[in-house]
Structure 1
């Protein structure tokens, strides 16, 4: 697979390179989080300040600032997968605070997704957690939302403003016009799980764990937690939300919360690459149309979904170029 870095690199705030500037195949995993109650109960070593949000892409990573920075920042670099096809990896990195999400990082995630959405060459996006101080021992996807920030909320209006930022980030991921893959290693908790279910596909290592323990800290699970019943059913959603249960990756796959479980980091990298390669081999207009249809199916009747599909199929033949090209390859394939 030949991928050349594109010339378009956009940076907001201070751009930051992941430790070691590892590639798509050896991209970092991250984080440390208390196993206690998931999203917000942090171990003492996690209660430090500083956060950064890093966006990078395969197979090389470019940075415009020192990796020693602990300030929240967003950068993203696109790489060419093939002519007129680009892929992106978004890495959420809060190295001293377990990859938890604060307001600044949520805003940056929303803005970056919005920017990526305008790229007509984009074919797939991968979302993962960045390296932390203890990434060699305990990785993390996203450990939840910042409980210290929520503890400091002083009014209903400030609470509303914060939770709307979580929703905006989730919605921005869902609004990306191409499939988004959540690459999960270890903790996927609270707001982190809401982010994960806002992606189109989820792949996780066997050691990963999933929980929605907000009720333990006096708040309900909200916003994109509303997607859970459609994935795992109302009964299992109640188990996660009422009992604040933590489940492992194998059970999460059995429930339908993740689509694939792999052994370790190496298999995770290979599994993600396999999915990305598969998506990039499909008709680009067809994939975008399919995602739009599936989002519509969530809130439509069966009949409405069928009619939307009829329109999408018809639109595919407006110029007919993509169906002809891909069907010709199929018909002329070697048998």
Structure 2
């Protein structure tokens, strides 16, 4: 099936149910981005995309924080780069975020502690997010004379334009309950034990679902969100359900339901 690339700054393992566990490992820097961490995340999610057997990805940060965004020393050095070098660096960050957003396997993120700047971008790209009480979110770029440009398409998609405008311009901090109310995270919980339980619940539900259908369901949202319901869109949706019904997983799922058994993708089958 292949092997997940692991490194000192990104621990990557695969469990018995083919659930990938990725943990950013720069706790002394609150898992802030530098070129190496950006490259390691991109490499890991690219590997997952090429490993169809992977059923889900759980993304965490080691230590007190999920991610404090960009490492300030890294950003300071970027101030001396050429415009072309800075554009290339921004594109590498964007490519990494896109690899998370379009990952075929559902990506579950656990937000805790500081979640700033690019860390909010990681959360916005993840498909399911649980936040632990005490997590502090902040799009703080304007306080440094910068903007959240590279992460903005993903954050705006998660928060909507009006809320994003407020948070981009004010750089005000907000907590887990606000992040849940605004749609950035899906569950706000009291502590790490509750977060682990929520992750386990989502993983169990994903393992009960057909892997191909899960990916296709995510693509429906990516492809249809915000679009006018035209004849062409409705025709495309009919083509997609026809394809799923005729697929091996579609036939297996319906047969298993009628025969009152677990489908062959279920670990308990």
TM-score by length of 1: 0.72
Kept in 2: contact 1:211–1:245 (CA 8 A)? yes
CA distance in 1 between counterparts of 2:36 and 2:226 reads: 31
3-state secondary structure, aligned to 1:128 = strand
Deviations 1:14-52 (CA, angstroms, capped at 9, x unpaired)? x44xxxxxxxxxxxxxxxxxxxxxxxxxxxxxxxxxxx2
CA distance in 2 between counterparts of 1:126 and 1:308 reads: 32
Kept in 2: contact 1:178–1:291 (CA 8 A)? no
Kept in 2: contact 1:54–1:130 (CA 8 A)? no
Kept in 2: contact 1:55–1:90 (CA 8 A)? yes
CA distance in 1 between counterparts of 2:92 and 2:225 reads: 22
Counterpart for residue 215 of structure 1: 142
Name which of 71, 83, 107 aligns with 1:180.
107
CA distance in 1 between counterparts of 2:216 and 2:240 reads: 7
CA shift, 1:106, in A, is 0.4
Kept in 2: contact 1:98–1:140 (CA 8 A)? yes
Kept in 1: contact 2:2–2:51 (CA 8 A)? no
Name which of 59, 67, 86 aligns with 1:127.
59
CA shift, 1:206, in A, is 1.4
Kept in 2: contact 1:198–1:224 (CA 8 A)? no
CA shift, 1:292, in A, is 2.0
CA distance in 2 between counterparts of 1:176 and 1:91 reads: 17
CA shift, 1:331, in A, is 4.0
3-state secondary structure, aligned to 2:134 = coil
Matched, 1:79 2:15: yes
Counterpart for residue 239 of structure 2: 311
Runs of 5+ consecutive residues of structure 2 not aligned to the other structure: 262-269
Counterpart for residue 97 of structure 2: 170
Counterpart for residue 54 of structure 1: 11
In structure 2, relative to structure 1, the CA distance for the partners of 1:189 and 1:307 (3 Å cut) is: farther
Kept in 2: contact 1:293–1:305 (CA 8 A)? no
Deviations 1:127-165 (CA, angstroms, capped at 9, x unpaired)? 11123xxxxxxx111110112111112222222122112
Counterpart for residue 69 of structure 2: 144
Counterpart for residue 190 of structure 2: 263
Matched, 1:202 2:136: no
Aligned length: 258
CA distance in 2 between counterparts of 1:80 and 1:310 reads: 36
CA shift, 1:333, in A, is 4.7
CA distance in 1 between counterparts of 2:133 and 2:233 reads: 35
CA shift, 1:188, in A, is 1.3
1:148-159 alignment to 2 at 5 Å?
A: 148-153=73-78, 154=80, 155-159=82-86
CA distance in 2 between counterparts of 1:95 and 1:285 reads: 35
In structure 2, relative to structure 1, the CA distance for the partners of 1:310 and 1:223 (3 Å cut) is: farther
3-state secondary structure, aligned to 1:80 = coil
In structure 2, relative to structure 1, the CA distance for the partners of 1:323 and 1:257 (3 Å cut) is: same
In structure 2, relative to structure 1, the CA distance for the partners of 1:302 and 1:222 (3 Å cut) is: farther
Deviations 1:59-103 (CA, angstroms, capped at 9, x unpaired)? xxxxxxxxxxxxxxxxxxx2231xxxx211111111221100101
Kept in 2: contact 1:93–1:130 (CA 8 A)? yes
Counterpart for residue 98 of structure 1: 30
CA distance in 1 between counterparts of 2:192 and 2:240 reads: 38
Matched, 1:89 2:17: no
CA shift, 1:115, in A, is 1.0
In structure 2, relative to structure 1, the CA distance for the partners of 1:173 and 1:230 (3 Å cut) is: closer
CA shift, 1:300, in A, is 4.3
CA distance in 2 between counterparts of 1:299 and 1:193 reads: 22
Runs of 5+ consecutive residues of structure 1 not aligned to the other structure: 1-6, 17-51, 57-77, 132-138
Matched, 1:234 2:191: no
TM-score by length of 2: 0.88
CA distance in 2 between counterparts of 1:308 and 1:187 reads: 42
Give the number of the structure whose residues are more often helix, by fraction: 2
